[in-house]
């Protein structure tokens, strides 16, 4: 015990320097302890749920993070203005920023997290590895030198041996990270990693690591207090990732035995004690097929995936953070911790999995969450998903006595969740959870890459989904007579329709039969329907002797449909004018695929380019997206500048034939 250094730091009102579901999650635990809560918001979040549910809310700037949620003076001023005496950084934004922690301390505010010194020590990947080596933690071989010249970095990569990982030294969340398989592609990958790192963290420095093939991504949850106590709360398996960012997390890991858990936990606690660490933290490891594990980095904050640890331990990790921050001892000892059952979390993101997980923004026309399962979110029908922040919009967490029970509950929960209006990865997550490899607990970090085509495949009854969409467009058409059950005396004749569904154009014919049923003909097949009940947002019908149901939302010529958990967005083009020019670059114009910020212009006017050649990079929702030439030709114009914010569809470059 370090009783001489113990500080009691009472506080009564907490400002939460974050947004969305993160802010709401912290509010819940703070209020449980009788604390007041203050929110901050950008102009884009003026009407957000976390703003309305706080006791007070303070505007801190414009929409872009640098002007709001990353604006340290504005947040400190907001705390002072509101009378808050403590600041919780949430997870993301400034949660691992030592300057922010120090600014809070200098302002007389309690920072609910580790000391600025601990954040600084572990925030630099190179320095963190050296500290961990001294504490006896095994580390991945690599290069962490100060010399960052292109030739030096390539030479070091050759020494390590390909494949290698490039990682931003100040990074996290997969940003500034690239897997490089050969020397020829190393220079471009290095440039891209540096650009992304500079934009995300203000530091272009990178390190190199040996790429361990098909590892598990295992992290150990730790806690320390200022009385000298340290514990671990077991591991989480975060192997299912896209773009080096986690999608599915579970606890415990299917690959970790009790003996391995004890070894990893012992190493993690030793590191916490060596750092004299206070608060929540996570040590991240790679676990290879032989059972050897290697330290990657330490996150000096609460993790997005903390609910799975809460589910199997019964502990409130935010409450533990708050108690430790005000000088209390950890209320549990290592020997008191018990693990019960299995928990799995998925990250619901506003992104198009079929388009390389392209971020999506817009209005969430209808949002409904299922009962009986934990959903962390800050949404309601009509909520805006802005393009300036992370694409994760919710977390869905299940807990069961066994892994299979937890997996089944999570699949059912996702089937019942409704998210109409913005494309999400809902169907992709269900495909992952249903995949035999995941069901067997075999998923490594290579899971999505190895099974991408299977995971993105349309459902087996995709043609039936098209027919059901045609039926719904017909019976909900505001220009047509309202649906009524029973036989019809009217003459029957087919009504043609043209729709776009899942990005594909379809032509179909819908016929109201004299017996009261409907026939939908499309792509050489016919589907017959009987409607039992039609509500404003749901339909119950029979098809080939099977009674079934679906949820939907009709919005003009747009229809959102969810059948058996699979969401579809449909557009009725029957009465629309023919589309003008193509927008995929085939006309020589490169258009922004999303709202985002220009981080790199890779060509200049007069350059000759080939179709498929990168010409510009946009950053949106914490990801970089390379835009390529659609044709061979000469760059006629670059219509944007680096650092500029652009909207979806804007022409960013023009290429002339030649």
**The dihedral sign for the CA sequence 161, 162, 164, 166:** positive
Per-residue tokens: 511: 């016929």
Count of positions (residues) in the chain: 658
Rounded distance between C-alpha atoms, residue 399 and residue 405, angstroms:
8
Catalytic site residues? 301
Look up tokens 């003909």; give the residue: 521
Rounded distance between C-alpha atoms, residue 473 and residue 465, angstroms:
12
Sequential DSSP letters for 114-172: S-HHHHHHHHSHHHHHHHHHHTT--B--EE--S---HHHHHHHHHHH-SSEEEEETT--
Helix (H, G, I), strand (E, B) or coil at 592: coil
Rounded distance between C-alpha atoms, residue 444 and residue 400, angstroms:
22
Q: What is the DSSP letter of 478?
A: T
Q: What is the DSSP letter of 184?
A: G
Beta-bridge mates of residue 655: 635
Please list the alpha-helical segments (H only) found in 161-253: 186-201
Rounded distance between C-alpha atoms, residue 177 and residue 192, angstroms:
9
- Is 10 within 8 Å of 74 (Cβ atoms)? no
The H or E element containing residue 325 is helix 317-325
Look up tokens 């890459």; give the residue: 449
HEC per residue, 19-58 = CHHHHHHHHHHHHHCCCEEEEEEEHHHCCCHHHHHCCEEE
Q: Which residues 6+ apart lie within 8 Å of 475 measured at CB? A: 483, 518, 531, 534, 539
Angle at the Cα of 175 from the Cα atoms of 171 and 181, rounded to 5 degrees: 105
Rounded distance between C-alpha atoms, residue 159 and residue 168, angstroms:
19
- Is 37 within 8 Å of 16 (Cβ atoms)? yes
Q: What is the DSSP letter of 353?
A: G
544-566 b/e with 16+ CB inside 10 Å = b? eeeebebbbbbeeeebbbbbebb
Q: Which residues 6+ apart lie within 8 Å of 112 measured at CB? A: 14, 86, 87, 88, 89, 279, 321, 322, 325
Sheet strand arrangement including 633-638: 589-591, 651-656, 633-638, 608-609
Per-residue tokens: 583: 């927008």
Distances (CA, A) of 538 to 482, 534, 541: 15, 6, 10
Q: How buried is residue 582: exposed, middle or buried, by Cβ count under 10 Å (0-12/13-18/19+)?
A: exposed
């Amino acid at each position: 015990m370090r009783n001489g250094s113990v500080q009691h730091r009472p506080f009564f009102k907490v400002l939460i320097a974050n947004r969305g579901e993160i802010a709401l999650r912290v509010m819940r635990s703070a209020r449980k302890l009788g604390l007041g809560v203050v929110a901050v918001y950008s102009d884009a979040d003026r009407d957000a749920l976390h703003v309305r549910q706080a006791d007070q809310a303070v505007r801190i700037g414009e929409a872009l993070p640098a002007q709001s949620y990353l604006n340290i003076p504005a947040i400190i001023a907001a705390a002072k203005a509101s009378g808050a005496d403590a600041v919780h950084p949430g997870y993301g934004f400034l949660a691992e920023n030592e300057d922010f922690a120090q600014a809070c301390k200098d302002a007389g505010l309690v920072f609910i997290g580790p000391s600025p010194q601990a954040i600084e020590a572990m925030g630099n990947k190179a320095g963190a590895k050296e500290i961990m080596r001294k504490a006896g933690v095994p580390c991945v071989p690599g290069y962490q030198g100060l010399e960052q010249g292109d030739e030096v970095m390539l030479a070091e990569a050759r020494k390590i041996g390909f494949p290698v990982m490039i990682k931003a030294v100040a990074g996290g969340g997969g940003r500034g990270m690239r897997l490089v398989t050969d020397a020829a592609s190393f220079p471009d990958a290095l440039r891209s990693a540096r650009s992304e790192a500079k934009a995300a963290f203000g530091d272009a420095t990178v390190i190199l690591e040996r790429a361990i093939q098909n590892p598990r991504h295992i992290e150990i949850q730790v806690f320390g207090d200022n009385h000298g106590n340290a514990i671990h709360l077991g591991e989480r398996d975060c192997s299912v990732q896209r773009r080096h960012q986690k999608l599915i997390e579970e606890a415990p890991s299917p690959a970790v035995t009790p003996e391995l858990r004890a070894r990893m936990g012992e190493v993690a606690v030793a590191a916490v004690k060596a750092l004299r660490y206070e608060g929540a933290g996570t040590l991240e490891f790679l676990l290879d097929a032989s059972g050897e594990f290697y330290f990657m980095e330490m996150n000096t904050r609460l993790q997005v995936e903390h609910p799975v640890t809460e589910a199997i331990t019964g502990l409130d990790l935010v409450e533990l953070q708050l108690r430790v921050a005000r000088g209390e001892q950890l209320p549990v000892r290592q020997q008191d911790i018990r693990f019960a059952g299995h928990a799995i979390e998925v990250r619901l993101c506003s992104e198009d999995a079929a388009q390389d997980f392209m971020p999506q923004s817009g209005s969430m026309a209808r949002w409904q969450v299922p009962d009986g399962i934990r959903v962390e979110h800050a949404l309601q029908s009509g909520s805006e998903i802005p393009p300036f922040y992370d694409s994760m919009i919710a977390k869905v967490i299940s807990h069961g006595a066994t892994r299979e029970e937890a997996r089944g509950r999570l699949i059912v929960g996702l089937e019942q969740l409704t998210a109409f209006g913005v494309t999400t990865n809902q169907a992709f997550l269900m495909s992952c959870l249903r995949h035999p490899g995941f069901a067997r607990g075999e998923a490594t970090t290579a899971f999505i890459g190895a099974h991408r085509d299977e995971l993105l495949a349309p459902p087996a009854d995709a043609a039936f989904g098209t027919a059901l969409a045609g039926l719904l467009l017909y019976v909900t058409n505001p220009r047509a007579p309202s649906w009524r059950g029973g036989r019809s005396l009217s003459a029957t004749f087919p009504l043609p329709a043209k729709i776009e569904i899942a990005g594909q154009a379809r032509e179909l014919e819908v016929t109201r039969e004299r017996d009261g049923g409907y026939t939908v003909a499309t792509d050489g097949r016919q589907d017959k329907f009987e409607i039992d009940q039609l509500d404003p947002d749901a339909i119950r019908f029979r098809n080939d002797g099977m009674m079934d149901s679906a949820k939907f939302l009709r919005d003009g010529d747009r229809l959102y449909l969810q059948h058996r958990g699979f969401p579809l967005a449909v557009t009725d083009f029957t009465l629309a004018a023919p589309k003008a020019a193509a927008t995929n670059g085939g006309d020589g114009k490169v258009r922004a695929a999303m709202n985002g910020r220009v981080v790199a212009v890779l060509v200049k006017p007069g350059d000759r380019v080939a179709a498929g050649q990168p010409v510009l990079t946009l950053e949106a929702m914490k990801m970089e997206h390379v835009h390529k030439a659609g044709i061979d030709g000469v760059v006629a114009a670059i219509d944007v500048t680096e650092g500029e914010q652009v909207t979806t569809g804007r022409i960013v470059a023009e290429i002339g034939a030649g």
